[in-house]
Structure 1
Amino acid sequence: MSMETGSASKFLIIDDHPLFREALHSAVELAYPNSDTLDAASLDEANQILQDDAGFDLALLDLSMPGVKGMDGLLHLRTHYPRLPVVVVSGAEDPPIIAQVLAYGAAGFIPKSSKKTTLADAIQQVMNGAVYVPETYADGAEDPLDDDTRKMIERLSSLTPQQIRVLQMICNGLLNKQIAYELSVGETTVKAHVSEILRKLSVSSRTQAVIEVNRLEALGTASPFELSTAAAPA
């Protein structure tokens, strides 16, 4: 494996396990000896770091952390920081999980069981513009996601952070007036958000939107409805 020695790249490791954060630090150092690498033990901590510094070249994200459900963390990063490439590093290596990660726009999937040299090589491949998946994942051989599910994931990923918050409240049964109060915006603004959500999801009613979200949650591809995130602008 050819290691990069010239450029000073910047990485963010998001994982609640100290030992694995250390392992990822070691892999990044192997691939990019001159890199600047920060780490976060939670998504909230990662949010604070990213709000203070937007200059990261790559984020390495664990799917399973306290307060994070399904694809919540990945979708949150993809909607709040769309220019930040995110690679999922996870112990959940089932083909449907990998397919979901890629459908949500991740730059790759690296199994936590990988050796350090494999981790380093995967990071380099992503930094060079490739989408990394493990060799054991036969992409396209038998797609674990049907077309409707994949399209709905893409539609959900197109929502803005504020639209996701509105959709969350719709799924919790709140009326427009209640949503307006919670978000400190006018009811007209909420109606505009709801109309845009229905348009982006290609559904004709709030009920259909809730049904689609519930269907994705049943597959383990939940939207970031249980996260503690900073308020997005209206």
Structure 2
Amino acid sequence: MSRLLIADDHPLFRAALRQAASENVPDGTIYEAADLASALTMLANEPDMDLVLLDLHMPGSQGLSGLAALRGQHPGVAVLVVSAHDEARTIRRVLDHGAAGFIPKSASPAEIGEAIRSVLDCGSWLPPALAQTIASLPADAADTNLAIRLARLTEQQYRVLALLGEGLLNKQIADRLSIQERTVKAHVTAIFEKLGVRNRTQASVLLQSLTLGEPARG
């Protein structure tokens, strides 16, 4: 029996994804999350999850940061990114950060179902109209390298990194996460070492590189 998690903060689109998943995986168990924190908690509680349908923009995740966190903390779970950011270069970056495929938010229910079945069968899926273009784009060495470095972080270290990116001081991070300030300092030291950065500014620049602009519109 397959286990799927739909992580999207838009109830209507979440319902559409659930409908497509239910029709194509009738014996599957489907979970839902409306923000990144809930998605990560659910994955921690359900280690046998097979597939996550992940929106790139929802509370706690802007751009590729949620994908990076999920892949780093749960590398055994397949991820299908679902987003309105359907430019070929963005999709190439999504693949470089470990996603098994990409579903545009303009995809039909049949395409969503096809993507889900393909990835559950250990395959991949890309929009047919863009597949050739995406395949012709070289992998981005910077993205690939960053994905490897982010994968070294523990779940708590990633939380600390995200708060560093918001400009919070150690004491503020300690209060937010309900941990000791000395524990935050230890996490920050480990984060700098694993990411190969020297200070908060450099760590924030790495996080900023994961953000995406507004989706292109015709």
Report the TM range for the smaller structure's normalisation.
0.7 to 0.9
**C-alpha distance in 2 between matches for 1:40 and 1:181:** 25
**C-alpha distance in 1 between matches for 2:124 and 2:32:** 22
Quickly say closer, same or farther: Cα 1:58–1:168, change in 2 above 3 A: closer
User: Offset at 1:45?
Assistant: 4.1
Give SS of 2:4's match.
Answer: strand
Sequence identity, in percent?
Answer: 40
Quickly say closer, same or farther: Cα 1:200–1:114, change in 2 above 3 A: same
Does residue 60 of structure 1 match 2:24? no
Q: Is the 8 A contact 1:79 1:158 kept in 2?
A: yes
**C-alpha distance in 2 between matches for 1:80 and 1:212:** 18
Q: Name 2:212's counterpart in structure 1.
A: 220
Does residue 13 of structure 1 match 2:19? no
Match of 2:28 among 28, 31, 35: 35
Q: Is the 8 A contact 2:65 2:207 kept in 1?
A: no
Q: Name 2:159's counterpart in structure 1.
A: 165
Give SS of 1:30's match.
Answer: helix
Q: Deviations over 1:2-38 (max 9, x none)?
A: xxxxxx3221222233332232223223322222223
Q: Is the 8 A contact 1:103 1:154 kept in 2?
A: no
Give SS of 2:107's match.
Answer: coil
**C-alpha distance in 2 between matches for 1:99 and 1:26:** 27
Q: TM-score when scaled to structure 2? A: 0.77
Q: Name 2:107's counterpart in structure 1.
A: 114
Q: Name 1:150's counterpart in structure 2.
A: 144
Give SS of 2:89's match.
Answer: helix
User: Offset at 1:94?
Assistant: 0.9
Query: Residue type of the partner of 1:174?
Result: L
Q: Name 2:190's counterpart in structure 1.
A: 196
Quickly say closer, same or farther: Cα 1:147–1:113, change in 2 above 3 A: same
Q: Name 1:185's counterpart in structure 2.
A: 180
* Alignment coverage as a number of residue pairs: 209
Q: Name 1:99's counterpart in structure 2.
A: 92
Please give the residue correspondences for 1:67-106 in structure 2 after superposition, counting only pairs within 5 Å.
68-106=61-99
User: Offset at 1:66?
Assistant: 4.3
Q: Deviations over 1:152-205 (max 9, x none)?
A: 243224322222233345442625x76567653363x54543343233222344
User: Offset at 1:127?
Assistant: 0.9
Give SS of 1:165's match.
Answer: helix
Q: Is the 8 A contact 2:5 2:53 kept in 1?
A: yes
Q: Is the 8 A contact 1:59 1:86 kept in 2?
A: yes
Q: Which has the larger radius of gyration?
A: 1
Give SS of 1:139's match.
Answer: helix
Give SS of 2:193's match.
Answer: helix
Q: TM-score when scaled to structure 1? A: 0.72
Give SS of 1:194's match.
Answer: helix
Runs of at least 4 residues off by over 6 Å: none
Quickly say closer, same or farther: Cα 1:155–1:27, change in 2 above 3 A: same
Q: Name 1:134's counterpart in structure 2.
A: 127
**C-alpha distance in 2 between matches for 1:48 and 1:209:** 24
Provide structure 1 residue ranges, at least 5 long, that are not aligned to the other structure: 1-7, 222-234
- State the Cα RMSD in Å: 3.0
